[in-house]
């Protein structure tokens, strides 16, 4: 008797979709699904234990486009009609197309029909978090009798199983912060720029695109939007809060130049990394004295060369979770690319087939049940500021504006006659620094362009 088949309908057959297809074709011969005690019914457990996973449909935009993976036409049909993925014979919809148009329709409709959904789409999860949460919870009973399951391990930090860690590993703990490098494209670019000042931004971005790390529109990577979506998902898992886009200060790397790397190294013994942070009030360096505040933000950051984040290179990601019981735990690995991301998708598919994914899309952590956390959008740090300028410079005028903004300047250095770099005291708020930068550009004739500012990771946070 042949084994029952767990059928996948996949939206997308690009970098990630191709990897999922290849891994499943290898693994289905060697790794039968193992059901767990979480299986909802005895029948489901028995069926899952013996099932073989097969991708029976792949929906793409262009049927004539050459694919860089072999498709077994005996078991897999290509289509351009996404609605075919919703047919009754499909057990699990894997969404690896990206975007919030067709992907959103397919994901929501599949959940409404009680199908399991596995997705790598952090933009969709972030921008439609409440709707997805609502539909996943209220979806029809699935064919196996359980609730629809939603897996999204691949959406955050590629191959690092950080979603599973936060969902299951901190049940008896209280998380204080989750922070780190969550974008492979920009880490690849910043690593190259740090190593070689002559590297051109456009060239190194193209390399990251060629390696399959970047989003379809790489603006999402370089302007920090991709990290914003990921850190908001991690904030939801760590603190149970849905943080709206307009409450997440977000700066990307497009203004970073070799001057910043040189000043960071010479004056602060630091390199520059794009860091996403989600922290609650007890973390004094982030949200000051508000004990029930949660602050989520994305910013290029000066990171001491001795910090482990400074040594995460290429498409690597690295997230540190700080919690009451464990102190700091760091999770690192490949954050983008075909096989690491596909590995997370395949792990979710196997968990789904065994009914082992949570049936609540974003489980609220035990430590946050009944708590009243509010979202705040300001944080406190020591900041590095670079101001494009021409001579003569008036240090007195800069000092006066700093004072008006309530900022204490710890040092001012001239870089090469056309740039000043400043360091603030360690108790400066982001909002005060932002105001200072806007005011100096507006009021001082010797300022020739937009100032750039970044927090400096303190030794305490290492
Ligand atoms: P990709 O290489 O551009 O592949 C996208 C695939 O989706 C293509 O096969 C495309 O079809 C198909 N597609 C797009 N719009 C479609 C539509 N309206 N109807 C039918 N098919 C459509 O993208 P990717 O890098 O695999 O990324 C896919 C998703 O994974 C995104 O959400 C991304 O954020 C996420 N992700 C990517 C990585 C990574 O390292 N690349 C890592 C983690 C998460 P055609 O091939 O015919 O154009
Ligand atoms: N574009 C994303 C990155 C893909 O570079 O990290 C992984 O989510």
Residues 6+ apart with CB under 8 A from 417: 391
Q: Say how far apart CA 164 and CA 358 lie, in whole Å.
A: 10
273 is catalytic: no
Find the 248 Cα to ligand 2 centroid distance in Å: 19
Pocket test for ligand 1, best of 11, 71, 81, 120 (most atoms within 8 A of CB): 120
φ/ψ of 241, rounded to 5, equals: -105, 145
The answer to whether the CB of 97 is under 6 A from ligand 1 is: yes
Q: Say how far apart CA 139 and CA 175 lie, in whole Å.
A: 30
What is the average pLDDT value for the chain, to the nearest integer?
Answer: 91
Closest ligand 1 atom, residue 214 Cα? 41
The per-residue pLDDT for range 106-145, each reduced to its tens digit, is: 999 999 999 999 999 999 999 999 999 999 887 665 555 5
> Could you tell me the pLDDT band of residue 282, with boundaries at 50, 70 and 90?
very low
Look at residue 24 in the predicted model and tell me its pLDDT: 93
Tell me which of 122, 230, 236, 273 is the catalytic residue: 230
Q: Say how far apart CA 34 and CA 51 lie, in whole Å.
A: 9
Single out the residue of 347, 395, 350 nearest to residue 155, CA to CA: 347
Pocket test for ligand 2, best of 155, 213, 229, 253 (most atoms within 8 A of CB): 213
Flag the least confident range among 7-16, 80-89, 353-362. 353-362
The answer to whether the CB of 35 is under 6 A from ligand 2 is: no
Single out the residue of 276, 294, 248, 272 nearest to residue 386, CA to CA: 272
The answer to whether the CB of 336 is under 6 A from ligand 1 is: yes
DSSP secondary structure of 294-347: EEEEEEEEEEETTSGGGG--TTEEEEEEEETTTEEEEEEEE-SSHHHHHHHHHH
Residues 6+ apart with CB under 8 A from 113: 86, 139, 140, 148
Task: Tell the burial category of 259 from Cβ atoms under 10 Å away from its Cβ (0-12, 13-18, 19+).
Answer: middle
Look at residue 4 in the predicted model and tell me its pLDDT: 80
Torsion region of 61: left, alpha or beta (phi above 0 gives left; psi -120 to 50 gives alpha)? alpha
Pocket test for ligand 2, best of 17, 274, 336 (most atoms within 8 A of CB): 336
Find the 184 Cα to ligand 2 centroid distance in Å: 5
Q: Say how far apart CA 361 and CA 346 lie, in whole Å.
A: 18
Exposure string for 180-219, b = 16+ CB within 10 A, e = fewer? bbbbbbbbbbbbbbbeeeeeebeebbeebeebbbbbeebe
Look at residue 40 in the predicted model and tell me its pLDDT: 55
Find the 245 Cα to ligand 1 centroid distance in Å: 23
Ligand with minimal distance to 60 CA? 1
**Which tokens go with 394?**
């008036």
> Could you tell me the pLDDT band of residue 271, with boundaries at 50, 70 and 90?
very high
The answer to whether the CB of 126 is under 6 A from ligand 1 is: no
Ligand with minimal distance to 127 CA? 1
The per-residue pLDDT for range 56-69, each reduced to its tens digit, is: 999 999 999 999 99
Find the 15 Cα to ligand 1 centroid distance in Å: 7
Look at residue 292 in the predicted model and tell me its pLDDT: 79
The enclosing H or E element of 440 equals helix 430-443
pTM, rounded to two decimals: 0.94
Region 170-189: mean pLDDT is 97
How far is it between the farthest Cα atoms of the chain? 86
Residue 281 has pLDDT above 70, yes or no: yes
Find the 214 Cα to ligand 2 centroid distance in Å: 6
Query: Beta 374-376 vs 452-456: how paired, if at all?
Result: unpaired
> Omega before 400 cis (within 30°)?
no
């Amino acid at each position: 008797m042949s084994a029952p088949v767990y059928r996948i309908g996949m939206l997308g057959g690009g970098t990630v979709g191709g990897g999922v297809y290849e891994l499943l074709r290898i693994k289905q011969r060697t790794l039968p699904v193992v059901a767990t005690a979480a299986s909802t019914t005895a029948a489901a457990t028995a069926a899952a234990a013996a099932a073989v996973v097969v991708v029976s449909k792949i929906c793409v935009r262009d049927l004539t486009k050459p694919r860089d993976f072999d498709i077994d036409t005996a078991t897999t049909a290509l289509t351009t009609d996404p609605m075919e993925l919703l047919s009754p014979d499909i057990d699990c919809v894997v969404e690896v197309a990206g975007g919030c148009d067709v992907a959103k329709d397919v994901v929501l409709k599949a959940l409404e029909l009680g199908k399991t959904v596995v997705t790598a789409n952090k933009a969709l999860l972030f921008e439609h978090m409440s709707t997805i949460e609502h539909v996943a919870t209220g979806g029809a009973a699935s064919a196996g009798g359980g609730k629809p399951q939603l897996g999204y391990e691949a959406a955050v930090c590629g191959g690092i199983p950080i979603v599973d860690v936060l969902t299951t590993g901190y049940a008896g703990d209280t998380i204080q912060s989750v922070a780190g490098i969550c974008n492979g494209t920009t880490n690849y670019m910043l690593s190259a720029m740090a190593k070689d000042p002559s590297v051109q931004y456009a060239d190194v971005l193209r390399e990251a695109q060629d390696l399959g790390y970047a989003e379809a529109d790489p603006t999402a990577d370089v302007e920090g939007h991709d990290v914003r979506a990921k850190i908001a998902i991690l904030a939801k898992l760590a603190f149970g809060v849905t943080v709206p886009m307009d409450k997440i200060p977000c700066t990307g790397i497009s203004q970073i130049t070799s001057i910043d790397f040189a000043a960071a190294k010479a004056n602060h013994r630091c390199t520059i990394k794009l860091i996403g942070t989600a922290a609650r009030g007890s973390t004094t360096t982030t949200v000051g004295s508000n004990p029930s505040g949660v602050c989520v933000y994305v910013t290029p950051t000066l990171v001491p060369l001795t910090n482990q984040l400074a040594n995460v290179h290429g498409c690597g990601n690295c997230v540190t979770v700080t919690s009451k019981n464990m102190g700091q735990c760091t999770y690192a690995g490949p954050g983008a690319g075909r096989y690491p991301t596909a590995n997370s998708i395949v792990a979710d598919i196997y968990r789904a087939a065994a009914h082992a994914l949570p049936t609540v899309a974003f489980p609220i952590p035990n430590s946050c049940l009944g708590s009243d956390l509010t979202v705040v959008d300001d944080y406190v740090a020591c900041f590095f500021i670079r101001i494009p300028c021409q001579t003569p410079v008036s240090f007195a005028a800069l000092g006066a504006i700093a004072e008006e903004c309530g900022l204490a300047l710890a040092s001012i250095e001239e870089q090469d006659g056309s740039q000043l770099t400043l360091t603030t005291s360690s108790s400066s708020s982001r909002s005060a620094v932002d105001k200072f930068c806007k005011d100096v550009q507006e009021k001082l004739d010797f300022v020739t362009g937009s100032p750039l500012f970044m927090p400096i990771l303190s030794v305490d946070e290492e």
